[in-house]
């Protein structure tokens, strides 16, 4: 039986289809009017070179290519690191600025790729180990391809052609059939997050009030307070020592308007449920011109609101996380170890989908926080380094894993039963934390190292030999950039403001009532309402 046939006419039933026009004309006429497929491919390739070669390669004159001395090329593994800030991701994409685009151009200019192969990375068997998305960093990643590596200073020459954001750590000869994508056994990722992300919600916020009310309803007030013991009274102390003096100094005629304005900013953040590029048509209505008194009042109101906002920001920057809080974080992260069903931790997956099962080898928080910023240590911001080692990851999986742990710890949740239930068929809405803090730490090639490399006398592919330079690069080009971006854009602050003031039940599984509290939620949270970003972590 012919597979894929449609209708009752077989070939004869489809003569009116344009794809089967050959049935209406002679063979000679058909091929006269339809160019050879190979010619079509040639034409398409020339068109791509003409229209979209920028960022993919360099086109040299025919005379230069013919005059160039032919040199042998070998299959190699190139170990790299980069800061993704300002780049449209790892993979070459037309004329976009990408990591691979800059790397390939540097290979050509350093003489590691011949001029004859300079216009197309595919001619060099160019393969990436792990794809990273727009703005995502990698302390260690790998590409495999054929390079001319007879020059012992080739690494230095390539780095000289690159910006300080991209570094080549080393180049190792491999077996001829090596593909870094296929040979990769597992990957390490790091997520950097400010320690103040684990502070409880401010008592004036909607979520904080729900946490207390539902703890009482579940007869769990004592348990809830015990899980928040190490941060008890933090916000009350901040309000008394830093916020109250500012309020007392504000003119009485605007004092409570300032408080309302600050609360209004936070509530407005939680009401944004569509992507930022969604526009709504509005009718502009002419407003009467403000009087000098009204202008003065508005200016004083804005200045006072800014003072309050800055005071809260400074309090969070000066926060230093207690050891007990870090232990709670580690307890939560440990629930991921092993094989689990992560259908709640990605998009468009069901519990029954076999691909939703993933194996996590380890997930740890460094018990020693990192201080990032300028000036004395007490003025620096404290960050935590979370590292996960897994075989492969789905879209947004790591960011949702961190999101779940952060929500549970900061909310004083009963961690283990909630997390174990999130691996079941029950549906959980888990927000993904900002992509700002995510970076690929390094890929792992244990199978290749222990079998093929040993058998054929090749060097093992490991990043540990570059640890000193790699750590310095992370501090200079990645950590500092993450900190500066957070200072400028306040991504973590806005994210948790959204969570704390999202007046619906989608995230109330963090309360003492668990998943039962989410029943009756009327709308989708921010990330599931059409604002998903492209890309993933695998």
Catalytic residue ranges: 133
Planar angle of CA 420, 387, 496, nearest 5 degrees: 70
Q: How many degrees, rounded to 5, is the angle at CA 487 between CA 484 and CA 489?
A: 105
d(CA 15, CA 418): 60
C-alpha 18/C-alpha 22 separation (Å) is 9
**CA-based nearest residue to 519, from 402, 429, 456:** 429
Longest CA–CA separation in the chain, Å: 93
User: DSSP readout, 402-451?
Assistant: HHHHHHHHHTT--HHHHHHHHTSSS----PPPPGGGEEEEEEE-HHHIII
Cα–Cα distance measured from residue 357 to residue 349, given in angstroms and rounded to the nearest whole number: 10
N- to C-terminal Cα separation, the chain: 40
CB atoms within 10 A of CB 98: 21
Q: Which residues are paired to 387 by β-bridges?
A: 190, 364
Alpha-carbon gap, residue 70 to 116, rounded angstroms: 9
Q: Which of 344, 349, 507, 509 is nearest to 427 (CA)?
A: 344
State the Cα–Cα distance between residues 233 and 235, nearest whole angstrom: 6
Instruction: Report the Cα 327 to chain-centroid distance in Å.
Output: 25
Give the tokens for residue 127: 């393969």
Q: Please check whether residue 341 is in contact with residue 355, taking contact to mean a CB–CB distance below 8 angstroms.
A: no
Contact 100, 143 (CB under 8 A): yes
Cα dihedral 465, 468, 472, 474, rounded to 10, equals 40
Q: How far apart are CA 228 and CA 346, in angstroms?
A: 29
Q: Which of 80, 77, 104, 79 is nearest to 176 (CA)?
A: 77
Annotation-wise, does 189 bind a ligand? Answer: yes
Contacts for 213 with CB less than 8 Å, ≥ 6 apart? none
Q: How far is CA 201 from CA 231, 236, 510, in A?
A: 11, 12, 12
Q: Please state the residue numbers annotated as binding site for substrate.
A: 189
Q: Please state the residue numbers annotated as binding site.
A: 189
């Amino acid at each position: 039986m012919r597979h894929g046939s449609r209708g009752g006419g077989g070939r004869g039933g489809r003569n009116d289809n344009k794809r089967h026009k050959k049935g209406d004309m002679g063979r000679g006429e058909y091929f006269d009017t339809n160019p050879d497929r190979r010619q079509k491919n040639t034409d398409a390739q020339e068109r791509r070179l003409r229209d979209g070669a920028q960022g993919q390669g360099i086109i040299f004159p025919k005379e230069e290519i013919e005059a160039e001395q032919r040199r042998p090329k070998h299959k190699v593994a190139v170990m790299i690191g980069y800061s993704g800030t300002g780049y449209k991701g790892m993979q070459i994409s037309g004329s976009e600025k990408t990591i691979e685009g800059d790397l390939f151009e540097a290979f050509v200019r350093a003489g590691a790729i011949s001029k004859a192969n300079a216009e197309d990375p595919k001619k060099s068997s160019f393969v990436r180990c792990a794809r990273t998305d727009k703005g995502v960093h990698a302390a260690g990643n790998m590409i495999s391809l054929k390079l001319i590596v007879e020059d012992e200073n080739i690494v230095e020459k390539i780095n000289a052609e690159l910006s300080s954001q991209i570094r080549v750590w080393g180049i190792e000869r491999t077996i001829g059939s090596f593909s870094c994508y296929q040979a990769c056994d597992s990957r390490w990722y790091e997520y950097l997050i400010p320690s103040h992300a684990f502070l409880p919600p401010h008592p004036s916020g909607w979520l904080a009030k729900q946490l207390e009310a539902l703890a009482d309803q579940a007869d769990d007030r004592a348990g809830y307070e015990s899980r928040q013991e190490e941060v008890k009274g933090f916000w009350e102390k901040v309000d008394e020592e830093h916020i109250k003096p500012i309020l007392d100094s504000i003119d009485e005629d605007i004092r409570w308007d300032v408080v309302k304005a600050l609360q209004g900013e936070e509530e407005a953040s939680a009401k944004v449920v569509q992507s930022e590029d969604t526009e709504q048509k509005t009718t502009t209505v002419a407003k009467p011109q403000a009087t000098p008194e009204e202008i003065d009042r508005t200016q004083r109101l804005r200045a006072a609101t800014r003072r309050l906002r800055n005071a809260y920001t400074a309090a969070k920057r000066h926060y230093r996380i207690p050891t007990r809080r870090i232990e709670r974080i580690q307890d939560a992260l440990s629930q991921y170890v092993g094989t689990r069903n992560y259908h709640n931790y990605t998009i468009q997956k069901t519990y029954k989908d076999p691909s939703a099962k993933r194996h996590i080898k380890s997930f740890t928080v460094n018990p020693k926080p990192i201080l990032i910023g300028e000036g004395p240590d007490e003025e620096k911001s404290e960050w935590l380094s979370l590292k996960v080692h897994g075989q492969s990851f789905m879209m947004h999986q790591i960011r949702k894993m961190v999101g779940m742990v952060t929500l549970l710890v900061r909310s004083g949740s009963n961690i283990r039963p909630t997390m174990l239930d999130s691996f079941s068929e029950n549906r959980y809405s888990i927000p993904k934390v900002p992509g700002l803090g995510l970076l690929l730490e390094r890929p792992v090639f244990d199978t290749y190292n222990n079998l093929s490399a040993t058998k054929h006398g090749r060097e093992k592919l490991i990043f540990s030999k570059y640890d000193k330079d790699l750590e310095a690069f992370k501090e200079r080009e990645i950590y500092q950039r993450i900190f500066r971006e957070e200072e400028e854009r306040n991504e973590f602050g806005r994210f948790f403001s959204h969570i704390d003031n999202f007046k619906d039940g989608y995230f109330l599984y963090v309360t003492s009532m668990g998943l039962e509290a989410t029943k009756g939620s009327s709308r989708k949270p921010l990330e599931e309402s059409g604002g998903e970003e492209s890309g993933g972590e695998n």
